[in-house]
Chain A
Amino acid sequence: MAENKKVVKGTSLWKDAWKRLLKNKLAVFGMIVIAFMVVAVIIGPPIIYWTTGFTPDYIPSDSKLIKSFPPSLQHPMGTDEAGRDLLSRVLQGGRISLMVGIISTLVSLIVGVSYGAIAGYMGGRIDNVMMRIVDILYAIPYILIVIVLMAAFGGENTPDWIAAISNLFGGGAGLNQIFLLFFALGLVSWLTMARVVRGQILSLKNQEFVLAAQATGVSTMKIIFKHLVPNALGPVIVYATLTIPSVMLTEAFLSFLGIGVQAPYASWGSLCADGIKNIAIYPWQLIFPGVTMALTLFSLNFLGDGIRDALDPQTRKF
């Protein structure tokens, strides 16, 4: 028996998926680029500071240097019109852009999964009302919701827990506003997630293990979150990985429109918005942040596709 056990040591679904993911060259490429990007935005700004003395918001005191210089050895990406080093600004902006991807996706995950799971499991009238609310929210432009959330909870009205989270990263009014933006973005991007989860729960809730749980008197909330949600995790992970690039793009749109990240902070979107103003004279101000952002989104999309194929072997044949 013991011998037998060794031979048929099964691989779990996750190990299997991981193996398939590693075979996908494009997904591995995406993973490497993202890992590089994460490391670069974390250790990049301090390294630049130690080697050259530039910080993202360092404006030279010599007035001759306050203009936009093209890329050079000293400034690999050039400088912006205030003479700030563009490379360290792009790296600093990358921190915020990547954080949007993670935090907003987490928020949308928590809200969307709970909402969809409850609607799907309850069924009947509750489900109907909950999903019609989703339909209505779909029809309201998300820009309006974000602006209202930012206006209603901005400044003095910032909830304490948001200020507490932003304090972990340095705090201050500007950063509070950015964290508020992360949550606002999460709160407008959970709708599709709720639909995906609801569909999954609908197909799971009539299976025997749910009946068994009900028969042994497990509470409704426990059935939903301990028995049903873990079984619906595959599609949730797939959709979450594709949400990351989409919220990053939304943040960039908002910053481009002047609603999102405000100076002195920067994100890739706000850097692009600044760059567009001067595109005819200083094209590097748009091209470097734009290409960095596009490369990151490109890699995230490939990784998301790879994870989908790895977790759902059915689609792999395509």
Chain B
Amino acid sequence: MLKFILKRLIIIIPMALLVVTVTWGLIRIAPGNFYSTEKNLPPAIEANIKKKYGLDQPWYVQYGKMMWNILKLDFGDSLKYEGQSVNEIIARHFPYSATIGILAYILALILGLIAGIIAALKQNSFFDYFSMALAMLGLSVPNFVLGPILVLFFALGLYILPPARWGGPAYLIMPVITLAMVYAAYIARLTRAGMLEVLRSDYIRTARAKGLSEKTVLLKHALRGGIIPVVSFTGPALASLLAGTVVVEKIFAIPGLGNIFIQSVFNRDEPLILGIVAFLSILVMIFNLIVDISYGFLDPRIRYE
């Protein structure tokens, strides 16, 4: 087990470096640059800028220097936000994204698990059809439609919630709900399907035959197996939640990392793009590792090599 974790942890480093390399290549393929928003920059000025940022050297020298710095966890300074290091920018803006991302996932888990389990237990009942139709609606309403409609209703209609920006807990309510709905819908569907499959399996029949109470059968035996699909979904979902809150950040004017990332791509701010991509890809890989480890606790039949 420990060997498995160590092996996976070590693989993360070359994988992250490869991701950075491919991203770097992509940025370099794209025409345009960070320093000239207008065309016809005098050649002398352009040469000076290139010299200052080391762009006059051959690409392999630039690449080598960049990789060496990244290995030392130094992504350098942002090109657009002068005098600020990439590490500082990420440290400053990530907490906003993380707060709404984690809260949204917790809300999605609560809603999705409850709806999914009840729907599975009362299969083909009114509640089953109703909650699954609701889940489908959650999957189909884009969050950039849901968010503004919530704003229209609660902030501009009823005046009970602040419409945007960052402040006390009241400011969190609408962004978290907007973000959570799609994930709640996914989790409800996954839980229902997983529970239905498990409830038909032999070990549940055995547990019932042993005379265990229905509560023990459900909570101790069925739930553990039934939520495995939800656990597999959690890795990528958490990662995309922490990073992919762009739309919600834009609607509610939250200074999170997603917004910064989109800006950095528009600005061709190479160090910042690479820093955020590296940070997020490592985060994704760590989440996936945690998910893989947790399978063993949920289903004793799963073993690690």
Give me the interface of A with B, judged by CB distance under 8 Å. Answer: 135-141, 143-145, 147-148, 151-152, 157, 245, 249, 252-253, 256-257, 269, 272-273, 275-276, 279-280, 283, 286-287, 290-291, 293-295, 297-298, 301-302, 305, 315, 318
Contacts and interface: CB of A to CB of B under 8 A. Distances in A.
B248 to A, nearest CB: 11
A279 B144 contact: no
B136 A298 contact: yes
B144 A318 contact: no
A95 B61 CA distance: 48
Given A136-B19, A140-B277, A144-B26, A276 B141 contact: no
A202 B23 CA distance: 31
A272 B246 contact: no
Nearest to A289: B145
B247 A256 contact: yes
- The B interface is mostly helix, strand or loop, or mixed, namely helix
B142 A272 contact: yes
B230 interface: no
Q: Which of A157, A290, A293 has most B Cβ within 10 Å?
A: A290
15 contacts: A139-B19, A139-B280, A139-B284, A140-B277, A144-B23, A147-B30, A253-B144, A253-B247, A257-B247, A279-B151, A287-B149, A294-B141, A294-B145, A305-B136, A318-B192
B265 A152 contact: no
Nearest to A246: B139
Given A136-B18, A136-B19, A301 B139 contact: yes
A117 to B, nearest CB: 23
A140 B151 CA distance: 32
Contacts of A290: 141-142, 145, 149
B140 A252 contact: no
Interface string B186-198: 0000001100110
A249 B27 contact: no
Given A256-B144, A293-B142, A140 B23 contact: yes
B30 A152 contact: yes
Q: Which of A137, A138, A144 has most B Cβ within 10 Å?
A: A144
B152 to A, nearest CB: 6
B97 to A, nearest CB: 13
Contact of A293 (B22, B145, B280): B145
Contacts of A245: 139-140
Contact of A148 (B29, B137, B156, B196): B29
B176 interface: no
Interface in B247-305: 247, 250-251, 261-262, 265-266, 273, 277, 280-281, 284-285
Nearest to B23: A140
Given A272-B145, A298-B136, A318-B197, A139 B15 contact: yes
Given A151-B31, A293-B145, 17 more contacts: A139-B280, A139-B285, A140-B19, A140-B281, A141-B280, A144-B23, A148-B27, A148-B29, A157-B31, A253-B144, A253-B246, A256-B247, A275-B148, A280-B156, A294-B140, A315-B193, A318-B123
B89 to A, nearest CB: 16
B144 A283 contact: no
B288 to A, nearest CB: 10
B54 interface: no
Contact of B265 (A144, A291, A294): A144
Contacts of B30: 147-148, 151-152
B95 interface: no
Given A136-B15, A152-B29, A286-B145, A318 B247 contact: no
Interface in B101-115: none
Interface of B: 15-16, 18-19, 22-23, 26-27, 29-32, 123, 136-137, 139-142, 144-145, 148-149, 151-152, 156, 192-193, 196-197, 243, 246-247, 250-251, 261-262, 265-266, 273, 277, 280-281, 284-285
A253 B22 CA distance: 24
Nearest to A299: B140
Contacts of B246: 143, 253, 257
A279 B152 contact: yes
A259 to B, nearest CB: 8
A197 B107 CA distance: 34
Given A135-B15, A280-B156, A318-B197, A148 B247 contact: no
Contact of B196 (A138, A272, A318): A318
A305 B192 CA distance: 14
Contacts of B22: 136-137, 140
B140 to A, nearest CB: 4
Q: Which of A139, A291, A298, A305 has most B Cβ within 10 Å?
A: A139
B243 A141 contact: yes
A293 B146 CA distance: 12
Contacts of A291: 145
B221 to A, nearest CB: 19
A94 to B, nearest CB: 15
A294 B142 contact: yes
B217 to A, nearest CB: 19
Contacts of A298: 136-137, 140
Ranked nearest first, the 4 interchain pairs of A and B with the lowest CB-CB distance are: A290-B145, A139-B281, A298-B140, A297-B140
B59 to A, nearest CB: 17
